[in-house]
Each structure stands twice: as C-alpha cells, then as structure tokens.
Structure 1
Amino acid sequence: MNETTTIFGIRAVIEAIQNQKTIDKIYIQKGLSGHLFMELQQHLSGGEYNMSYVPVEKLNRLVKGNHQGVVAKISPVAFADLEEVVTASLEKDTKPLFLLLDQIDDVRNFGAIIRTAECCGVDGIVIQKKGGAPVTADTVKTSAGAIFKIPLIKVDHIKDAIYYMQASGIKVFAATEKTEDLLYSKDLNQPLALVMGNEGKGISPSVLKIVDEKAKLPILGTISSLNVSVACGAFLYEVVRQRL
C-alpha cells in the first residue's frame, strides 16, 4: 500500500482498531453521542490515538458518504520499535545516526525530511504519537518512496526517545537558534541523534533542557530562519561531510 487509506463510519473505525491497523489520525465530530459512539470511545480508551474533534463541515470535506461523525486515516507504513532499531544501528560498522522530529506539522516538510534522511544514511526517524504531521499520501509522494526504506518510530514523547538514545551512548544534538554555537564547530563524527523542531515554535523547551548539545546554522540574510526541511538537510549533510 503506497498511500493513506481513509475509512469512515463508527463501525469501520472500531474494526480497524480491533484488527490493530496503524491508525494515523482520527477525526471525530464535536458533540457526537449515541450508543455506537460510546462503544468507539471504549475502544479508544485503551490506546494512544491522535484525535481531533472537528465540525461536521470538516468531515464532509474529508469524505463523500455517511461518515456518522467519524473519519480515520490508516497509515501507509508500519512503525518500527525504538529499541530494536537502536540495537540494530549499534551493531553496524557505521556510527548510528537518528532524526527526532519534535512535532513537525507540515506533511510535505515531513516527506522532504524523510527523503533527505534516507540519502544521508539515517538509521531511523522518531516522531510523537500525538501532535505531529500524519503520514499521508502527500508525505509518501514528497519522500519519493524513501518512507518505505527507512524505519519510522512512534513514541509517546520525544523525551522518551532522547533518554533511551543517551542511555545507549548516542549523543543528542538540537538544531536550534537558541544557542551561540554554530553547527560547523561541533564534532558530528560520533553516534548521533539530531532533534528538529516545529516549523513555528521550534523545539519544545522541555526537550531543549535534556539534549546534550545545541547548534545553529549561520543566517546571513534578513529572514531569521530556514524552512525546517532545508535546515535538516544542511545539518545532515554536515554530518555526512565529517564522516566521509
């Protein structure tokens, strides 16, 4: 399957949950009620799902049909296990390289980052279960198929992945403007995980507090920041340059 499947109707979404499908996002009509909806809520209460409560007009735009107030996006990819991917990376001859995306919003930025990451030999990309861009057909298309070649890992919070990386001997770098240290002064030829932040808000303050090092790119023009996928490419290729 190479693009996102959209399902709708309460019973269809319940069946997807029962069959352990990788559900990327669930849209629920505001104010929804009824016996069947209560059954859906019971199924949702047992797991971590990325849900949005939206007006019925939003659902009407998403699908043509009797959605019963519920629409879900089934991810086109299966997600990998953090511990398994990190262990595999440590057993390779090359130094581990991971990307941690702290609530990247835009699906095309997400796809472009995945494409660059695959070109740079990244071992895995970590995203949060909630708050980030869903894996959509646009993500798949923008990644040029790279999304099927690189492990994607979902965690409850990016901090969970950071602590695990650090415990595994992988140094965690944050790409942030909130530092005076330039990227080019850093030693990137070591086991490394790079954190990239949200397009507007950047990296969460709670995440910045626990990283090992921070670095930024020099900005010579009048615009204060780069597009996140461009910045990510610049950081990753400096890693590649130092490791060649």
Structure 2
Amino acid sequence: MPSEVRKAFKILRSDGLIPLVRKGVPFVHDNYISSHLPRAVVQYNGVAVKAGRLFDTSLPWREGHRPQFESGLISAISRHVSSGDDVVIVGGGWGVTAVAAAKQVGDSGSVTVFEGAKREVKRVKETVALNSVSDIVEVHHAIVGPEIHLKSAAGDPARVPPDQLPRCDVLELDCEGSEIDILKNLSSRPEYVFVETHGIYEAPTDEVRKVLEELDYEITHCEIGAEDYRTDCEEYDIYVLTGQRI
C-alpha cells in the first residue's frame, strides 16, 4: 500500500473525515493536479509574473500574489535608482527587480542582468517582456564569480569574471553566496551597491557589511530580505544591505 494511502487511513481513523478532506485536498491538488493546470499571471511586489497556476489566487493554501516579494531590494531600488541610471543585476530570479529598476531608469537608462541558471534566464526574459521593458533590460545567461549555489540547473552559461562586469551607477547582487567574491574583485565602484546576504551560502550579513566598508561604502540601510518571509529570513540571515560610495 502506498505511503500516502496509509497516511490517509491513519488520519481518517484518528481524526475523522473532515480533517482528512482538509489535508487531502491540498495534497492531491499540489502533487497531482497543479502542474497540469495552465500557468497564470500573479503580482510580485507590483510586477506581473507567470509564477502561478490557474486557481492559485482562489485557493487558501496556494501562494498567489506576493506584495512583499523581494521587499528589501525593491525598497533599495525605489530609493536610489534614478532616471538615466545604468544598473547591473547579478542574479535575476523571477526578473522582478529587473523590471522595477527598468521602470526607474526609463528609456534613457539601462538594466543588465546576469543569471547563471537556465530556467531563471527564461523566467527573467518572460517577466521583462510581460511588463513591456524588453527595450531597457538586457539578459545574459552567465555566471559571475564562483558558482556556489544556483536555483536550478545551470545549462551552458558563459563565465564572467567580476572585474569584467560593465561599469554602472548601481550594482545589485543576489547570487546565492557569490556576493563576497564578486565585491572583492570588482574593477569599478558604483555609486550604490545593493547586496542580498545569504548566511547559509557563505555570504553572512556581518561579513558582507565588513567587505563593503573596506571598499569605502557607507551602509545606509539594512533591511529584511522579504517581509512576507521574515521568519525564514531572520533564521537564515537573509538581509539587504545598501552601500553608498563615500
């Protein structure tokens, strides 16, 4: 007998039918139905992304809209990215910060994204197109610095040494542990650097802060990585440091 069926019978015997239904419906939906449903557009901190599935916003256990997604980086972008700026982002994710930056810099600026994972490259490009900023955002399938942790398979990315990153006004680093190596090997000094720290991936907040200060950056803000995941961010040391060049 499959383990799922044994668990269902155990819940039925101990708790009754209603608890079984409450637990069983989400399990069946998430494990056997959801992946076959059409993809759906949801809002991540005001940015449209195809991160959902049909009915996600109607089902209480499914994660639909996320108004606080990447709240630390989005806050830094809204404060410090201006019209005409050139922004470089290392670690594209869903492309949400790329879109937010593109809306700030406008047609006179640029946003260049480096993402090492093949799936995420596709996601960034899709999100950029969905939000009509493809003419501002350029996406590269490339790993910058050491490959410490990727969110999915790399595919066949290019390799970009940190000292070969384009000159920019603002640099955003959200690259799952490569942040410190990149900072130490930069050849230029952007006006602002936003770093999402990752204590479990060799880039703890205190060490990132120290490196930024050694590079003559003043830490103007330290914010939680994502307010909707505050508990996890606090547990795993995920914060966003904003450094302004002195």
Specify which structure has the higher proportion of helix. Answer: 2
TM over 0.5: no
* Class of the TM-score when normalised by the shorter of the 2 chains: 0.3 to 0.5
Q: Kindly name which structure, 1 or 2, has the bigger radius of gyration based on alpha carbons.
A: 2
Scaled by the length of structure 2, the TM-score of the pair is 0.33
